[in-house]
Structure 1
Amino acid sequence: MKSLEVFYDGGCPLCRKEIAYFRALKSRIPVIWLDLTDLNAELPDDLDRCNALARMHVRVDGQSYYRGAAAFAMLWSQFAYWRMLGLFLRIPPVTCCANWLYHIFLKLRPHLQRWVQTQEKP
């Protein structure tokens, strides 16, 4: 793996916090962070903005896309303190369970976003 592109929802306060955390860490390879809510951002032709906003997406070496838990596994495996969890998450039965949990999280995400937004207001 030579590069990783992370497509994230910059309109989501949870996503912004997570991305800010990872951007501050040193990665093993170059990571390109692409905010899907930035309408001026150039997205790959084969990536649908609406679908990408619905769940985490990463692209490896400009070719292979990973979604959901597999995307987190690819991202986390590039950072020292997260590497082992990322590698563990790549094991198929673990990935399957993580996708199930991620699906539940996605249903709760709008409520969590509202809660985080109320916590951010002074």
Structure 2
Amino acid sequence: MKQKDPQNITVFYDGSCPLCASEISYYKRADTDHVLNLVDVSSKRFSGDDSVTRSDAMARFHVRLADGRQMSGARAFVELWRAVPGWRWLARLASLPGVVPLLEELYRLFLRMRPLIVRGFGKYQRFFGTSLTR
């Protein structure tokens, strides 16, 4: 089956989170189709819009598709993977029955553990002087 042409997708991410920023940096490099519009919601320039507030975007990963539909959490990651070459296979895998709800539960678990994970990631960066995505 032929992959339809990717459309632009707006990605709302927390640039103040070193783990999040590192992951987004990886997606940016993988975006050879140049379809990602990356919005750092931690920036003073972002105050939210009609569809997503700053506090919502800081608390949970969001994307907005070209047609205006907005998603958060696991569904947002699936749409991001669908747009980025090299990750489309994961979006196809996520289309199997029951996968997105499982990913959402894992994402919610990550959100609860995020402060601890971010602290560990920061220590890793300071110790090795690099990020995981270089």
Q: TM-score, normalised by structure 1?
A: 0.90
Task: Work out which of the residue numbers 16, 22, 25 in structure 2 matches 1:17.
Answer: 22
Select the structure of larger CA radius of gyration: 2
Tell me, yes or no, if structure 1 residue 117 matches structure 2 residue 122. Answer: yes
User: Equivalent residue of 1:46, what SS?
Assistant: coil
Match of 2:37 among 22, 32, 52: 32
Aligned residues: 122
Indicate the residue corresponding to 1:63 in structure 2: 68
SS at match of 1:63: coil
Structure 1: segments with no counterpart, 5+ residues:
none
RMSD of aligned alpha carbons: 1.8
The answer (yes or no) to whether the contact 1:27–1:78 under 8 Å persists in 2 is: no
Please state if 1:82 is matched with 2:71: no
User: 2:70 and 2:100 mapped to 1: Cα distance?
Assistant: 15
Residue matched to 2:11: 6
C-alpha distance in structure 2 between counterparts of 1:26 and 1:50, whole Å: 27
Give the TM-score normalised by the residue count of structure 2. Answer: 0.82
Letter in 2 for 1:47: V
Runs of 4+ more than 4 Å apart:
none
Q: Indicate if the aligned counterparts of 1:2 and 1:29 stay in contact, CA closer than 8 A.
A: no
**Deviation sequence 1:4-49 (CA, Å, 0-9, x none):** 0000000111101100001011344621000000011364222111
Q: Which amino acid aligns with 1:69?
A: A
Task: For 1:92 and 1:11, locate their aligned partners in 2 and report how far apart those are by CA, in whole Å.
Answer: 34
Contact preservation (8 Å) 2:9, 2:83: no
The runs of 5 or more residues in structure 2 that have no matched partner are 1-5, 128-134
Give the % identical residues.
32
